[in-house]
């Protein structure tokens, strides 16, 4: 899976298909998803749960389970923690207020992007940022959380 950040949208590319993540939500290969449900398109599988007035997305790409939280401050119920229990890669907008939720979810990989990303990344001792990268399941250690800070070039 390839990740690239342009403007405020993180693009995940796999097998010439794209998942777009931004503050408005998730777009699954040109299908904007704004309703809780189960979706499948071109081999991408996506589950969406509603928590209060916002959505949490979970999707599978290249054998990895990803999740996207597009809110900067959340409280996770036990049901939402169960929903996110098998997450390999967690994508978040960069608010320091998410640290507690991230620690409860305990993903193998945390990908932070957005304006406040550097502030949150610093709480995980990450200071270097990239605007694009490649990842595969074998790149990450099973019992250690890796953190990737995504920023646009020139920031």
pLDDT in tens, 90-115: 999 988 889 999 999 999 999 999 87
pLDDT in tens, 7-39: 889 999 998 889 999 999 999 988 999 999 999
Percent of the residues in the chain that have a pLDDT greater than 70, as a whole number: 99
Which secondary structure element, helix H or strand E, spans residue 11, and what is its range?
strand 9-14
Phi, psi of 7 (to 5 degrees): 55, -125
Intra-chain end-to-end CA distance of the chain, in Å: 24
Say if residue 155's pLDDT is above 50: no
What H or E segment, with its residue span, contains residue 99?
A: helix 99-105
- Does the structure show a pLDDT above 60 at 146? yes
Residue 89 has pLDDT above 70, yes or no: yes
| β-strands 146-150, 109-113 pairing | parallel
Helix (H) / strand (E) element for 12: namely strand 9-14
Which residue matches tokens 């928590």? 51
Q: Does residue 71 contact residue 55 with C-beta atoms inside 8 Å?
A: no
Mean pLDDT of 55-74: 91
pLDDT of res. 22: 94
């Amino acid at each position: 899976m390839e990740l690239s950040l342009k403007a405020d949208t993180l693009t995940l590319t796999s097998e010439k298909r794209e998942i777009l993540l931004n503050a408005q939500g998730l777009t699954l290969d040109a299908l904007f998803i704004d309703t809780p449900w189960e979706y499948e398109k071109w081999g991408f599988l996506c589950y969406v749960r509603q928590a209060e007035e916002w959505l949490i997305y979970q999707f599978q790409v290249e054998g990895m389970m990803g999740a996207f939280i597009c809110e900067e401050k959340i409280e996770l119920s036990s049901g939402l923690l169960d929903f996110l229990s098998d997450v390999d890669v967690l994508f978040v907008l960069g608010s320091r207020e998410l640290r507690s939720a991230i620690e409860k979810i305990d993903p193998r990989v945390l990908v932070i992007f957005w304006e406040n990303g550097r502030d949150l990344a610093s709480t995980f001792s990450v200071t270097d940022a990239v605007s694009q990268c490649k990842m595969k399941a074998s790149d990450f250690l099973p019992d250690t959380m890796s953190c990737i800070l995504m920023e646009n070039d020139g920031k």
